[in-house]
Structure 1
Amino acid sequence: MKIWIDVSNAPHIHFFKNIIKELKVRGHDVVVTARNFDSIIEILELHDIDYRLVGKHGGFSLKDKLVESSKRIMGLTEIISKESPDLALYKHSVEASRVSYGLKIPSLCVLDNEIAESQNKLMLPLSTKIIAPKAVPLKEITRYGVSKKNIRRFYGVCELAHVRDFVPDEKVMSNFNFDRPLIVMRPEPIKADYYKGDKDKSIIRDIIVNSSMDATFVVFPRCEDQKKLFNFENVIIPENVIDSLSLIHYSDLVISAGGSMNREAIALEVPAISAFPGHVLAVTQFLIDLGIKDHSLDPKEIWKMAEEFMTSTYKKDVRKALKKMENPVDIILEEIEAIED
């Protein structure tokens, strides 16, 4: 089979990298397309993944988002109509869903963000099958007109795919001169349509300012505007794309106002605290209910949580919880094999 994978956000590379590898081992042809957004290009090249760059993110403006998405649909249509893949595979890609539907290409859509309503309205009704964590309520998928028989759910989180067969590279630590503890941080997704907070501020900055720990912070801003908020002596902002999974592995704690990096940390058995200033995602609540993640918007409370996590039996607890979870890589490969048969 020829399988088309579209990458529209940086964490999706970690999600798909092992799927791409396994598909090639099984003899499938894989076509990867990507949009120019965040650090997508650099991460693809870091992992030696061949790709075709098609379009870019529209930024903050609703008009620009629509224009760039429309341009990307046209660009993908030209490429994919010539490639004629047997299957499209994507995670929260509005353009891939539209193109695959328009060209009558069966599609698998991975969903783990029920609050991204604008994307979900455009994406879910056009996708052949939806793959989602069981934590996402079924009604959050079916309300877009998706039949239950076209939904495959799994017990776990998507980030387990990110760390499958993961081997940490200690060389990543040579990039930094720091003292312990090392805390990795990620600010808000200010360009996301579902983000409704103040784009000129960051709770991550407030958390650093109110830190009760003598720590080194490695911050991964999402754009140039966010970098200006983190001009502190004990803050390191990587100048180039680095192996973030290895960095997380060797860190003591992750605090993120996003989602993926927190869940990557948990998948790597590293304590994580969510500071997303909005509705708590179903997958986040799932991990909180298991007792292996916390959420707060109060910097002082966050540091109390951090101290508790870092001095508790966290690794033992998270390891026990992770053993019961399914890896979405296996689920996706099963679905592809079913289509092939």
Structure 2
Amino acid sequence: MRFVVTIQHPGHVHFFRHAIGELESRGHRVHVFARENGVAVDLLEAYDIDHEILAGEADSMLSLAAVQTTYETRLLYRARRIDPDVITGIGGVAAAHVATALRATGVIFYDTEHASLITSLGYPFADVVCTPSCYRDDVGSKQVTYPGYHELAYLHPDRFEPDPSALDVAGVAPDETFAVVRLSSWNATHDVGHGGVDDPRELVDRLEDAGATVLLTAEGEPPPDLASYQLTSPAERLHDLLAYADVVVGEGATTAAEAAVLGTPSVYVNSLSLGYTDDLEEYGLLYAYDADDRHERALERAVSIVESDSNQWDRRRERLLEERIDVTSFVVRTVESAAHGTNPDRPIPAINPG
């Protein structure tokens, strides 16, 4: 079978990279087309995934429309020559549009309910829309749900084992208490009018006062007074650090969920909530603060975690893994089923297939 995978964000690389490898090992041909965005291309190269870049980065809403048009036009031209059975992506606006034009099967994976522009442009054209079972919206008959999160496509223990050498690369001692702070750029279409941490400097100071070394990762440029905290480790080593951190505090839902599924307590500071952040709260691995007092309450929670000596996080993660699946296996099964013109089970059992 012939598959086209579209990549427009670093998180898309993580989500699809194991599925790409499995599909290729099963004899399928996989073509990856990317749009330059942050560290996405760096990750594709780090994971040795063959790809072609079809468009550059966007620095405004106006330029985003132009870049997206360029990306879709070039994707249509490339995909027509490939004649794919399935075109897939996360959010999948370009994937769904081009699949419709070429009469291929369009399979979208998505987990962000409030990204209404993306869902309104992508969902109507997709043949299959795959969402976590905790996704709040009903997409209709084309929706396939699964008991998991995007992050379990690459951080499930069957797919990932943290490498302690990442600590040395980041300049952190094995027994050192440390926190990872994640700041968002707030330039996505669904971020308009929302916010997270009021004062990043205060957050860093409070964590340091509690005895934690702070490692900062920021979309774009960090605040000038916090530049010295910025991680210089390769992007592909971030998940190792999340696994070993004592706490992760941030504005990005993806990083918050990554930490949580790794068993690291995660403090999510964002006026936007999501079905999967709510679900991870139920496991006691994520603490979400979205109200007007979110900044102070999040700081208090983060400091209390640093100052505690609790060993409850591993037990909570074990419970999660008993009830959630290796999502890569679901991705492979779903796109293969779509290529053969059949539908995967809806929904699949809430078990870890091992």
Structure 1 length-normalised TM = 0.89
Greater mean deviation of Cα atoms: 296-305 or 67-76: 296-305
Shift of 1:199: 8.4
Q: Which amino acid aligns with 2:179?
A: I
What is the Cα-based RMSD across aligned positions, in Å?
A: 2.2
Aligned to 2:148: 156
What does residue 210 of structure 2 align with? Answer: 213
Verify: 1:223 aligned to 2:220, yes or no.
yes
Matches within 5 A, 1:163-174: 163-164=155-156, 165-174=159-168
**Alignment correspondent of 1:248:** 242
The 3-state SS of whatever aligns with 2:203 is: helix
Range 114-123 or range 211-220, more displaced: 211-220
Paired residue secondary structure (1:220): strand
Paired amino acid for 2:268: S
Query: Counterpart of 1:44?
Result: 44
Q: Provide the secondary structure at the position in 2 that maps to 1:223.
A: coil
CA distance in 2, matches of 1:105, 1:295: 40
CA distance in 2, matches of 1:203, 1:322: 35
Distance 2:92 2:178 in 1: 34
- In structure 1, give the amino acid aligned to 2:318: R
* Alignment partner of 1:181 out of 163, 177, 193: 177
Is 1:289 matched with 2:287?
A: no
How far is 1:171 from its partner?
Answer: 2.5
Partner residue in 2 for 1:191: 187
Q: Helix, strand or coil: the match of 2:320? A: helix
Q: CA deviation at 1:327?
A: 2.5
**For the Cα contact (< 8 Å) 1:6–1:89, is it kept in 2?**
yes
Specify the code of the residue in structure 2 equivalent to 1:315. D
Distance 1:166 1:191 in 2: 30
Check conservation: 1:266, 1:272, Cα contact below 8 A.
Answer: yes
Any stretches of 5+ residues in structure 2 without a counterpart?
341-354
For 1:200 and 1:154, the matched residues in 2 are separated by 29
Report the counterpart of residue 268 of structure 2 in structure 1. 274
Note if contact 1:256-1:274 (Cα within 8 Å) is conserved in structure 2.
Answer: yes
Whether 1:237 aligns to 2:236 is no
Q: Does 1:84 align with 2:76?
A: no
Match of 2:298 in 1: 302
Shift of 1:289: 2.5
Secondary structure of 1:270's match? coil
Q: Summarize the Cα distance change of 1:305–1:270 in structure 2 as closer, same or farther, 3 Å threshold.
A: same
User: Which residue of structure 1 aligns with residue 346 of structure 2?
Assistant: none
Per the alignment, residue 67 of structure 2 pairs with 68
- Inter-partner Cα distance in structure 2 for 1:197 and 1:102: 35
CA contact (8 A) 1:101 1:126 kept: yes
* Residue of structure 1 in register with 2:109 after alignment: 110
Give 3-state SS (helix, strand or coil) of 2:108's partner.
Answer: strand
Q: How far 1:242 sits from its partner (Å)?
A: 4.2
Give the TM-score taking structure 2 as reference length: 0.86
User: Contact (CA 8 Å) 1:204, 1:257: kept in 2 or not?
Assistant: no
Distance 2:198 2:81 in 1: 44
Distance 2:146 2:273 in 1: 20
Distance in 1 (alpha carbons) for counterparts of 2:143 and 2:37: 29
8 Å CA contact retained: 2:86, 2:339: no
Q: Greater shift after overlay, 4-13 or 163-172?
A: 163-172
Deviation at 1:94, TM superposition (A): 1.9
2:25 counterpart of 1:31: no
Report the CA distance between 1:47 and its aligned residue. 0.8
| Structure 2 counterpart of 1:261 | 255
Cα separation, 1, equivalents of 2:288 and 2:195: 20
- Amino acid of the residue matched to residue 152 of structure 2? L
Contact 1:7 1:13 in 2 (8 A): yes
Cα distance, 1:56 vs. partner?
Answer: 2.5
Structure 1 residues not aligned, in runs of 5+: none
Q: Given that residues 89 and 109 in structure 1 are in contact (C-alpha distance below 8 angstroms), is that contact kept between their aligned partners in structure 2?
A: yes
Figure out how many residues of one structure are paired with residues of the other and give that number: 329
Aligned position for 2:350: none
> What secondary structure is seen at the aligned counterpart in 1 of 2:190?
coil
